[in-house]
Amino acid sequence: MRLQVSRLSLVLVVVAAITAIPGLPLDVDLRGNWLLLHLLIVSPLAALLVVMSWFVRGRGEVLSTLAWLCLSIAMGVILVPMLGLTAAESSHNWINGHGWLSFLGFVLLGWSAARRRNAG
């Protein structure tokens, strides 16, 4: 399955990554305006990924598909502590997992775009 990359989804991924920068030091509590801004941007991105995954079919580049898969899993991982399905002590691990998967997806998406640009 290939997820067609629209310009809107790429812009949302970049802005979501930028709004997560204040939470990069692992012991910093990312609450308040930065978290609200991050959630405000990621919510439409999550909806867009769901729509794209349901309605867009086809063959795609492996790196791009893997990048979007990482981003989708990261959005699912963050639901575990948000819905209270884990103990308070382990919530930090789920949030770190969300961050690292999101970062990996962002890097793979950039690598895929660079390869596409060099090839074409």
Q: What is the pLDDT of residue 109?
A: 84
pTM exceeds 0.75, yes or no:
no
Residues 6+ apart with CB under 8 A from 56: 1, 2, 3, 4
pLDDT by residue for the chain (120 residues), tens digit each?
344 456 777 778 888 877 777 665 555 666 677 778 888 888 888 777 777 767 665 556 788 888 888 888 888 888 888 888 888 878 888 888 888 898 898 888 888 888 888 886
**Nearest 10 degrees: Cα torsion 32, 40, 72, 69:** -110
What is the C-alpha to C-alpha distance for residues 115 and 109, in angstroms, rounded to an integer?
10
Q: What is the pLDDT of residue 4?
A: 47
The contacts found for 93-97 with CB under 8 angstroms, 24 or more apart, are: 96/26
Q: What is the pLDDT of residue 2?
A: 41
